[in-house]
Amino acid sequence: MLKSGTLITVKREADEKKNAVYHGPRFDVYAEDEHGTIYDLEMQNQNHHDIEKRMTIYQGKLETQALYAGQSFSERRQTVILFLCDHDVYNLNQVHYQLIPQLVGHPEILIDNGETNVIVNLKGNASRQATLNQEMLTYFNDGTVTGKFSAALEQAVREVKNDAKKEENYMTIEEYAARQSAYARKEGREEERMETIKGLVKLNFTKEQVIDFLIQNLNLNQQEASQAYNQAMATA
């Protein structure tokens, strides 16, 4: 999945929230290795269906440190976002998913933009993976140390926990409440939208009429309205 290197800088909960207007991420673990590669490791225990968009924001912050003034673009440092999820984001029973940019119309041509985005499914079938990945998945699933790599992870986690006890939690209660409220509003809007669609169908609206209603009254575009209709009908 990823080539291992020696980490020379590790920071826990690196705070990039410098702006009161625009959203800034809080890196769970920020690290750099001897090759200059920059890493962000994130733990995700809930599926809010926005992980790809989150990755782009985190990559944006890493990219500001990937190139020094006066350097050519070819010297851009590699940036890696690694999300460890206790759920299968895409329900394909794979242990990990790597998101890569492709040339439209030519999927065989991969674009190397210096970014690596990987989602690890901690509930996936570890038997399919190399020994090192199996060891990592076993550790993150049940905390069992099975080798040198997981022993090093255990020590790192212990140090982070001990360090965290000395200071306040990094995400304030207000920030956490605001984020949860945003998710709740989004889920509420979607639920209300589903009921609206089902109600229109009961009134004998055709699919085209429902989609037109959503576009005109709920400010959705054609694709969003069509997807909303299909989702509602799938749960009808």
What confidence score (pLDDT) does residue 169 get? 44
What confidence score (pLDDT) does residue 123 get? 78
Residue type, 126: A
CA distances from residue 33 to 8, 28, 39, 42, 80 in whole angstroms, order as listed = 5, 17, 8, 17, 11
What confidence score (pLDDT) does residue 113 get? 92
CA distances from residue 47 to 51, 121, 235 in whole angstroms, order as listed = 8, 12, 19
Closest CA to 99 of 58, 56, 36: 56
Q: What's the token pair of residue 144?
A: 């069992």
Q: What does the alpha-carbon distance between residue 223 and residue 202 come to, in Å, rounded to a whole number?
A: 22
What confidence score (pLDDT) does residue 165 get? 47
What confidence score (pLDDT) does residue 196 get? 82
What confidence score (pLDDT) does residue 160 get? 55
Q: What is the pLDDT along the chain (236 residues), one digit of tens a residue?
A: 455 455 445 555 454 544 343 344 555 777 887 778 888 888 887 888 899 999 999 898 888 888 887 888 989 999 999 898 888 999 988 888 899 888 999 988 889 899 999 998 887 765 555 555 667 667 766 678 887 767 766 776 666 556 544 444 444 555 555 665 566 566 667 777 888 888 888 878 889 988 888 888 777 889 888 988 998 898 76
Residues 58/39, Cβ–Cβ less than 8 Å: no
Question: What is the reported pTM?
Answer: 0.54
What confidence score (pLDDT) does residue 76 get? 92
Q: What does the alpha-carbon distance between residue 2 and residue 82 come to, in Å, rounded to a whole number?
A: 10
